[in-house]
A and B are shown apart, each in its own frame.
Chain A
Amino acid sequence: MKRIMGVAISSVSIGAAWLAGVFLLPAIASAQQVPPSLRSGYSPDREVNLVGTVSSFVSDSQTGPLGAHVMVQTVSGLVDVHVGTAEFLKARNLTLNTGDSVRIIGENFTNGANTVFLARIVQKGMVAVAVRSPHGMPLWLAGSRGLKTGGDKGNGGVQ
């Protein structure tokens, strides 16, 4: 069995080659289009490169998804970006403060009446952190894994 291998960046100081690749990505210019639903899945083909300045950072956002959000001021306006959890970023030596210049690769989604940008890679200065896999799945510990909730009827736990 061959597993998917493709998360290139976890928490690294990045070089010019990666930056060059980032610049080739389209700017966030599709704001007029209605983004897909969160339930439609993540598509690498729809990824965009978001560049701007941190307006605010909250570790417990009052709007979804669950976790940390950063508001990024771009030339197109303010964008709500979900960046996983504050603990995950901190463990990878990335803190986001008001006024920081950031570059974020990800995808815009409809979330109920709102839109939210799901970050896959967050870059501040020369440090980039991958918070999602190439297909958009969380790299922070998301969800209770290990089948603790299913299982034998009489056993209650892992099946």
Chain B
Amino acid sequence: MSFPMNRLVLCSGLALALFTAACGGGGNGAITGTPAPPASAGPYSNASLNGTFAFQMSGQETTSGGFFARVGSFAANGAGTITGGVEDVNSQAVGSVILPFSGGSYSIQSNGQGTLSLINQTGTLQFSILMTSATSGLLTEVDGGASASGNFTVQTPSTFSVANINTSYVFDFSGVDPNNVPESIVGQFTGNGGGGATGVLDDNDGAVASGVSAFSSASFTMDTTNGPSFGRGIANIAGLNFAFYIVNGSKIRFMETDFPALLVGDATAQSGTIPTTAAGLSGSFALVMSGASLSGSDARGGRVTLSGGVVSNIQMDDNASSASGSGNSNPEPIPSGSISAATYAVDGSVPGSGRGTLTFTDSKLGTFSFIFYLISPTQAVIQDNSAGFVSDGSMFGQSGSPTLAVEAGNWGFSWAGQSINGTTGGFGEEDFLGQYKLSSAGAISGGVDFTELSAPAVATNIAITGTLSIQGDGTGRNGYQVKLNTSPSATLNFSAYFVDPNTMFVIGTDTHRTITGTVVRNF
């Protein structure tokens, strides 16, 4: 880690201004609008944030326009004060650096919405946060330095040792390679509890797929300074260097430190009996992915049913920013033509890895090809290996029977993607974080905070209204529309796919943005 430390000193001493992008502070304007209604009474308060939390986020810097990520840990005292922490940042503005937090503060409303500030030597980072459970939440940067979002999860300090990296993990890292080319790596490694691991991976680097590739070299070392308190360590996986933060015995957060390369993602311990044949993997799955295509950004998701090696019941949405009509992105339903050659398999050549393939051909849209690694029989990471695509995401087994009566309640959401400004041509990332109440009639009422670099602007506490329209039995494509009561107002349209009665994946269907997100019941 000599490079990051050297870079830190250089940047701190000579180029502090450069930190504005990666470390807060920027020149974005403000979007005004109708204030959000008062928060619903809920179970959250400042006491909800008590302990150390591992966070991870990524997005686009305002100043450099480049991809960046941060992963770290902060300590909250349950009374509104941040008592310490540390983060690793990898950005085009500053390279790969490690920055300690000297303090900060936070405030959480009863509905889980709140604010968080983290102070480091470069200034104060400002976030909007949303508690989604008693132990985890979502966050988005609102200081104008970037449009970025991610999440945080409470850590278990007793697991802060490489001795606990002693089982099999599935990982999903995505970002850019050293040439700023989109890259996705998914795979599995098995830790030996002594700081070593072996595994397999699939690398889609710039639409060139590696195929399954075994690696015998991986190492994990705890950071003697920040490891005991914050779970930080450094790792080398298949020749790539990472900072990592242990969350608990089943999850580790990673960020690559090989600037200008930058991959970021999580490793999750496998659980249950991992299927070794297609016959062992069945059921309906909701999936969501985001990444890049030849034409630009891409958002993809939907629902498929797996049984006996055959993929059926395909209902998906694809928005590949390649419209031929009005607008300039291209939301298309799948199937658009007839489906053929729809199959899946669990890879017998790497037994126990959970690796599998899924493919189908749409007579109008072409062939779709995916690699997945199973975390459990009902959960996987998924990589899009279709021609000209670099994309990745998650796949979850569906459960429950969603109806509006069942779904009524309080929900939080995080959406991220890219949009273009129809007036100025400004183009960039946008990240939304909000909370709303859903009525049993499908009406949405709540508030949102967001950053939109195509404006560019930051908006907080903006009222939202909208509708959820459940179609059929609710397990396929559902209608989801949210109006931002900004001035002027804006409406976002999505297809929504239920994972379970408490979770939806959403894929934007508008023609001037490509966006995906997750919507979760937060109380």
Give A residues with C-beta under 8 Å from B: 1-7, 10, 37-42, 58-68, 82, 84-88, 91, 109, 111-114, 118, 132-159
Contacts and interface: CB of A to CB of B under 8 A. Distances in A.
22 contacts: A1-B203, A1-B210, A5-B179, A41-B207, A66-B323, A67-B420, A68-B425, A87-B426, A138-B296, A141-B66, A142-B292, A143-B290, A144-B297, A145-B182, A146-B175, A147-B392, A150-B381, A153-B502, A154-B136, A156-B414, A158-B264, A159-B394
Given A40-B387, A155-B520, 10 more contacts: A7-B180, A60-B328, A63-B324, A64-B324, A82-B295, A134-B206, A135-B206, A138-B296, A143-B514, A148-B414
A41 B291 CA distance: 15
A110 to B, nearest CB: 9
Given A3-B177, A112-B324, A154-B136, A145 B291 contact: yes
B41 interface: no
Given A4-B181, A156-B132, A145 B365 contact: no
Contacts of A158: 56-58, 150-151, 253, 264-266
A82 B290 CA distance: 21
Contacts of A87: 65, 426-428
B520 A156 contact: yes
Contacts of B265: 146-147, 158-159
B364 to A, nearest CB: 9
B367 to A, nearest CB: 8
Given A65-B295, A153-B499, A145 B175 contact: yes
A40 B361 CA distance: 12
A59 B427 CA distance: 9
Contacts of B429: 141, 144
B381 A159 contact: yes
Interface of B: 56-60, 65-67, 69, 132-133, 136, 138, 149-151, 153, 172, 174-183, 201, 203, 205-208, 210, 213, 215, 238-240, 253, 261, 264-266, 268, 288-299, 320-330, 365-366, 381, 386-388, 390-394, 396, 412-418, 420-422, 424-429, 431, 499-500, 502-503, 505, 512, 514-520
Nearest to A4: B205
Given A133-B179, A136-B207, A65 B322 contact: yes
Given A142-B296, A143-B291, A156 B181 contact: no
Contact of B181 (A1, A114, A133, A148): A133
A41 B388 contact: yes
A70 to B, nearest CB: 13
A87 to B, nearest CB: 6
B341 to A, nearest CB: 15
Contacts of A1: 201, 203, 210, 213, 215, 238-240
Contacts of B136: 152, 154-155
A61 to B, nearest CB: 6
Contact of A61 (B183, B328, B428): B328
Contacts of A132: 294
B205 A60 contact: no
Contacts of A148: 57-58, 149-150, 290, 414, 416, 431
Most chain B CB neighbours (cut-off 10 Å) among A88, A138, A156: A156
Contacts of A7: 179-181
Given A4-B208, A141-B65, A141-B429, A149 B181 contact: no
Given A64-B323, A64-B328, A150-B288, A137 B207 contact: yes
B355 to A, nearest CB: 16
Given A1-B201, A39-B386, A112-B324, A138 B292 contact: yes
A150 B179 contact: no
Nearest to A59: B425
A143 B394 CA distance: 16
B135 to A, nearest CB: 9
Contacts of A62: 326-328
Given A41-B207, A59-B427, A112-B324, A145 B420 contact: no
Given A38-B320, A137-B294, A142 B181 contact: no
Contact of A66 (B201, B203, B427): B427
Given A1-B215, A60-B422, A146 B151 contact: no
A7 B207 CA distance: 13
B277 to A, nearest CB: 25
Given A145-B176, A147-B393, A67 B296 contact: yes
A112 B425 CA distance: 23
A143 B292 contact: yes
A133 B208 CA distance: 11
Q: A-B pairs with the 10 shortest C-beta distances?
A: A112-B324, A59-B425, A146-B58, A150-B394, A157-B151, A41-B387, A65-B295, A64-B323, A66-B321, A60-B425
A60 B512 CA distance: 9
B297 A4 contact: no
A133 B292 CA distance: 12
A141 B147 CA distance: 12
Contacts of A155: 132-133, 136, 138, 151, 153, 520
B325 A112 contact: yes
B429 to A, nearest CB: 7
Contacts of A133: 179, 181, 206-207
Nearest to A8: B179
A159 to B, nearest CB: 5
B211 to A, nearest CB: 12
Contacts of B396: 153
A156 to B, nearest CB: 4
Contacts of B425: 58-60, 68, 86
A61 B420 CA distance: 10
A148 to B, nearest CB: 5
B427 A85 contact: yes
